[in-house]
Amino acid sequence: MTQSAYHNKKVSVTKIFTFDSAHRLDDYIGKCANLHGHTYKLEVTIKGRTDHRGIVVDFGDIKSIVNERIIGPYDHRFLNDLMPFNTTAENMVVHFFELVDNHLKGIEDGNEAVLMRMRLWETPTAYAELTREDFDAS
């Protein structure tokens, strides 16, 4: 295939981040009602058409967006002081999706890169996920 054959193909790219935060769950009976912490893993998947170089969105750009909107404000912090909702993984993934999605929509560079999925791992075996389809349907 020639290089031009790789141009303008729809591709999804994913970047993974980790951050540490403490929280407690409100209106909950069990251990998680107490103050505790997690090393969260956040997966951010963006889909778009490859440009003339074969790039949908630069991984460095994804890193900058997530560091500015999520890691910087929430890493090593007490989440209950920062979020006006119960700090469940489900609520947090919706909030984080909105933060990144709004940022991407504000970029007018002609790129049609769209946030397609966000997965927030609370433990190595448990995560909450929000897809573009579910976000748009709500």
For the annotated catalytic residues, the residue numbers are 32, 76, 122
Residue 64 CA to its chain's centroid (Å): 12
CB 35 within 8 A of CB 11: no
Angle, in degrees to the nearest 10, between helices 59-66 and 89-105? 120
Question: Please, what is the Cα angle at 77 between 105 and 127, to 5 degrees?
Answer: 65
* Cβ atoms 98, 89 nearer than 8 A: no
Let me know: does 13 contact 60? Beta carbons within 8 Å. Answer: no
